[in-house]
Amino acid sequence: MHRFKEWTRLMEWTLAVERSGLRAVCIALLAVGLASCASVTTTGPTGATAQRLDPAIVEAQDLARQQATVDPAKREENTRAIQRLIAGLDNDTLSRNAAALPAGDPLYLYVGQALLRRGLPLPRPFERGGWSFEAGNRPPAERDGYRPPVKLAVLLPLSGSLAPAAAPVRDGFLTGYYAESRRRPEVAFYDTAGTPAGATAAYQRALAEGNDFVLGPLGRDEVAAVYRDV
């Protein structure tokens, strides 16, 4: 009731001042008065109530935003600092903060990697716009154009009903891989289990682990699921 009386007096004073031509001043003071009468809810771009981030996440956020402009010689040190801050959070805190990070936040990739390493689900897929399979970190191509990736992910259904079909694909790939006498990429196989959900999860793990090229998946439904994800 006391707050209401204060607000009523402010409104009466507003009308009086407005008549004297000081409306702009009145509106400013009215806004201050109303701010003292009620709490303000901050909302994000989607209208959802903003969540308070853990102090360690806020600090890591600042470091992640500097990563693109930091001295290349100090970039690895900056990455380790981000990872140390994230490592200090328990699973619940990490998951909650990951979900609260806005779309496009450069920290989400680091937080997502930490979640996957702990066997925890991602609150949303990695953003393709903030992560790309690019060749910028590869050595120059040889004279014939040979320029393999640095880390190559192969998505295959190593388990499930499609495993028998995946085996010769894997064996044929490895035959060609070991027959190559020139520089070869680091290769990692990711089991899709022959399902759309498994293919999407495998693709997300490949992203999180820094692969710069992906082969697969094998099944039509798996391909469609990954395509929707990117």
Average pLDDT, rounded, for the chain: 76
For the chain, give percent helix, strand, coil, nearest 5: 55, 5, 40
For the segment 62-74, the average pLDDT, to the nearest whole number, is: 85
Please give the pLDDT value at position 136. 57
Question: Quick one: tokens of 39?
Answer: 């709490």
For the segment 198-208, the average pLDDT, to the nearest whole number, is: 88
Split at pLDDT 50, 70, 90, the class of 118 is confident
Residue-wise pLDDT for 210-221, tens only, equals: 888 899 999 999
Measured CA to CA in angstroms, residue 41 lies from 51, 52, 101, 160, 177 at distances of: 10, 12, 17, 49, 57
Please give the pLDDT value at position 131. 46
Measured CA to CA in angstroms, residue 157 lies from 72, 126, 192 at distances of: 38, 22, 5
Please give the pLDDT value at position 163. 94
Q: Is the per-residue pLDDT at 88 higher than 90? A: yes
Dist CA 17 CA 3 (whole Å): 21
For the segment 122-140, the average pLDDT, to the nearest whole number, is: 65
Residue-wise pLDDT for 38-58, tens only, equals: 333 323 333 333 468 999 999
Please give the pLDDT value at position 90. 95
End-to-end CA distance of the chain: 55
DSSP 17: H
For the segment 165-192, the average pLDDT, to the nearest whole number, is: 93
Name the percent of the chain lying above pLDDT 70. Answer: 72
Neighbours of 201 (CB within 10 A): 21
Please give the pLDDT value at position 152. 93
101: left (phi over 0), alpha (psi -120 to 50) or beta: beta
Q: CB neighbours of 184 closer than 8 A, spacing ≥ 6?
A: 148, 177
Residue-wise pLDDT for 2-17, tens only, equals: 443 443 443 443 334 3
Neighbours of 161 (CB within 10 A): 11
Q: List own/partner pairs for 61-64 with CB under 8 A and 24 or more apart.
A: 61/101, 61/105, 61/107, 64/105, 64/106, 64/107, 64/109, 64/110
Measured CA to CA in angstroms, residue 97 lies from 40, 57, 72, 92, 100 at distances of: 22, 7, 28, 9, 5
Which phi and psi angles does 134 have, rounded to 5°? -115, 160
Please give the pLDDT value at position 210. 82
For the segment 192-205, the average pLDDT, to the nearest whole number, is: 91
Q: Is the per-residue pLDDT at 154 higher than 70? A: yes
